Structure 1
C-alpha cells in the first residue's frame, strides 16, 4: 500500500496521505514522495494547482497528518541511526518548497494537524480547516521545539500568541486557527469530498477561480479564545519563561492556573529554547528560520554542550514517556524551569556547519 497517493485530474495534482494507522505521520519515504511529486508538477504546464489531504481508516479525510514519525526518532536516538540527519534536512527542504511553491497549493486540514502536518500545510496558499480540525505544535511535550518552520509561522501570529502556542502546545479548533492566522477558510465536513472533486473540474485553475470555489463551500466558524487573548499577550510577552510561569501562578484565574500547569509538564529546557526560537524567527525569512531550526535539531539529538549522548536527550525521554512506555511521567533534566541557564540554551543556536556547507544552504 502506498503511503502517498498522487493523481492528476483536470488541471490539479491531488495528493492523499495514506498512512492512517499512524495518523499519516511522515516517514522519510513519504517526504521523498511528496517532494518528487511537487517538483515534477511545478515543471508541468498541465498541472496548474496542487491539493493535499489525509485519510483515516475508513477512507479519505478525517485525519490530515499527526507529525513526524516519533517512534522512528526514538529508535534512531537509541541506536545512533544517522538517517535522522537525512529526515530533517529533506523534511525542512519540503517545507520550504511548499512555502515557495509557484502554483496554488490547497491544504485540506481536516482532523489532526500537528507538528510535521503543520509543516506541509502552513506554506499553502489556501489553508482549509473543518469543525474536526485539531491543530497544534506540541513538541515541547516530547522534549523538542516547534520545528518544520514553526518559528516562522508561529511568530507571525498576532500579539504573543506564537509564544503561547509554541510553549504550551495548545490545540486549536477551526475558528481560533483562522483568528490567529494559521488557517484561511472553514469547510463544511459533509462537503469536503464535493469540494475536493470540484477542483478537478475547474476549467481555469487560478487564484480567483479557486477562491470562488472555496467560498461556495465555506462556513462560518467560532473563535473561542477571545476572552483569553489579553492574558496571553500579557503573560507570553514577558522576557523569560520563568517570568511567564511566575505571572501565571500568581494569577488566580482558571485560565492562568491551567496554563501554568501545562508549562510545568513540558521540558523546562525546551521551553527556554522554543521561546528564543520564536523571538529570533520573528525577523527571519522562511529559509533563514529553517536553517536555524536545522542547526537546533542537530543539538537536540546530539547535545554535546550538555555532555549527553543521544539516548539521554530530552527528546529521547519525552518520546519514551509519551509514546513508548506511555507512563506520561518524563524525567526532564533540568527538572525545573527556574534552573535553566543561558549556557544551556544559547548553544542550540550555534550552527555545526560553516555557511558554505550547511545542509540547507541552497534555500533562498
Structure 2
C-alpha cells in the first residue's frame, strides 16, 4: 500500500511505500531552498515516522535536476530583517532542532546529494546514516561569502574532517565534487547513474526488510558503490592545506598563501583572492567556531551556533553580505572590519558570549 503526503503547501512531498518514506524537497525553481514551513513539515514527519512501524528507512531527495538543496531561503530572511521583524531567530531555532534530530534519529536516513547541496542542505544531509554523492554533486558551505559562518552543524561536521580540511572549506566556502566529498568525510559513498537507478529497489527489498535496517546499509555500499570518476583536488592540496589552515589566524593564513606556490600552481593565489572577498570578522569567527566544535558535544554545537547566529543578525556583516551578493548583486559588501589586520577581537568574542541564562536556552532540550 502506498501513501502520498504533502506539507508546506506542496513544498514538501513524500511517498511511503514498502517500508521506505521518500521525502522530496519540492522547490526546484529555488534550488529547493528551505522555508520555515518546510523545516516544520519535515520535523513533524520525522516525529510521526519515529513511531510508525510501516517506516523502516527514510530517504531525502531534491526535486528537479539541479539541486538537492541550496540552503535556507536567506532572501526571505533579508526581507524580514528589512521589514523590522523581531522573530528571525525562530527560523534557525527550528532548523537547528531539526538538524539535531536527524543526527540522533534512530531509524536510518539516506540523503541522496544529487546536484547542488549547500548550507541548509548540508544540515539535512550530514546527519544522515548514508550520505550519497553522485556525478552531479556540488557541495559547499559558502556562508562566509555572505558574512555568516558555516552553521547548521558545520561546527560538528567540518571540524571532524581529516586534518584541517574543514577549516579550509569553512573559511574559503568553495565547492567540491563527489571525490573530494568522500575524501573529506562529507559523503559515504558515490553512486554512478546506473547504481542510483537501482537505489530505491534495494532500499525497499533489502534494507527495509532487514531485521536491522541501519546495518543493511552496508550492503548498499558494497553492491552499488563505486569509485568516483574524478579523484578530486583535495588529495594533492592536502599537505599545503594542513600546513596553512592550521595557522592561528586568518592573517597568518593569508601571509602563508602569499609565501610560495607550494607546487600547486594557481591554487594559493585563487584561495587568497577568495579570502580577500570574505568578511574578515567572520573568517576569524569561523576559525574559532571550528576550534570549539572539535571539543564540543553535538548538542553544545547547536546551542553555540544559535547564539552565534543571534549575534550575526545584530552585527551587520550577514545582512550586508546578503544584500551585496544576493539582493542588489553589486558584489561590493562593506564589511565591519576593513581588513584581516583590522579584526577586533572583542567583535569575535561577542559571537561566543552566553546570551541566555542556564536552562533558558531555546535549544536547552537537546540532550
TM-score per shorter chain, which class? Answer: over 0.9
Cα-to-partner distance string for 1:250-288 (whole Å, 9 max, x where unaligned):
224421111111100111111111111000111111110
2:337 and 2:344 in contact (8 A); partners too: no
Equivalent of 1:317 in 292, 317, 320: 320
Partner of 1:291: 303
1:23 and 2:31 equivalent? yes
Maintained 8 Å contact 2:195/2:225: no
- Check whether the contact 1:5–1:15 (CA below 8 A) recurs between aligned residues: yes
User: Counterparts of 2:340 and 2:87 in 1: how far apart (Å)?
Assistant: 32
Which residue of the partner structure matches residue 354 of structure 1? Answer: 357
1:213 aligns with 2:220: yes
In the alignment, which of 131, 148, 155 is matched to residue 152 of structure 2? 148
Number of the residue aligned with 2:49: 41
Contact 1:50 1:105 in 2 (8 A): yes
- Name the stretch that deviates more: 76-85 or 240-249: 76-85
How far is 1:185 from its partner? 0.3
| C-alpha deviation, 1:227, in angstroms | 1.4
Aligned to 1:64, the other structure's residue is in SS state: strand
What does residue 257 of structure 1 align with? 269
Matched with 1:306 is none
Distance in 1, matches of 2:86 and 2:76, equals: 11
The count of aligned residue pairs is: 351
Counterpart of 1:349 in 2: which secondary structure?
Answer: coil
Give the Cα separation in 2 of the matches to 1:345 and 1:183.
Answer: 31
Please name the residue that 2:124 is paired with: 120
| Post-superposition offset of 1:188 | 1.1
> Displacement, 1:190?
4.2
Aligned pairs for 1:321-336 (under 5 A) are 321-336=324-339
Secondary structure of the residue that 2:37 maps to in structure 1? Answer: helix
Residue 132 in structure 1 maps to residue 139 in structure 2:
no
Using the TM superposition, give the Cα deviation of residue 192 of structure 1 relative to its aligned residue in structure 2, in angstroms: 2.4
Q: What is the 5 A alignment of 1:117-196?
A: 117-196=121-200
Segment of structure 1 superposing worse, 329-338 or 268-277: 329-338
Q: Deviation string for 1:102-132 (max 9, x for gaps)? A: 0111100110010000000000010000011
Query: 1:207: Cα distance to partner?
Result: 2.5
Match of 1:32 in 2: 40
Alignment partner of 1:120: what SS? Answer: helix
Q: How far off its partner does 1:199 sit? A: 1.7
Instruction: Output the CA distance in 2 between the equivalents of 1:160 and 1:194.
Output: 36
Match of 2:3 in 1: none
Segments of 5+ residues of structure 2 without an aligned counterpart are 1-8
Query: RMSD of aligned C-alpha atoms?
Result: 1.4
Partners of 2:67 and 2:204 lie apart in 1 by 21
- Residues 118 and 141, structure 2, Cα contact 8 Å, conserved in 1: yes
Whole-angstrom CA distance in 2 between matches of 1:95 and 1:198: 26
In the superposition, the TM-score normalised over structure 2's length comes to 0.93
Distance (Å, rounded) in 2 between the aligned partners of 1:191 and 1:250: 45
Structure 1 residue corresponding to 2:243, chosen from 234, 244, 266: 234
Do the aligned residues in 2 keep the contact of 1:16 with 1:53 (CA within 8 Å)? yes
Q: Given the two structures, how large is their TM-score scaled by the length of structure 1? A: 0.93
Match of residue 63, structure 2, among 55, 64, 84: 55
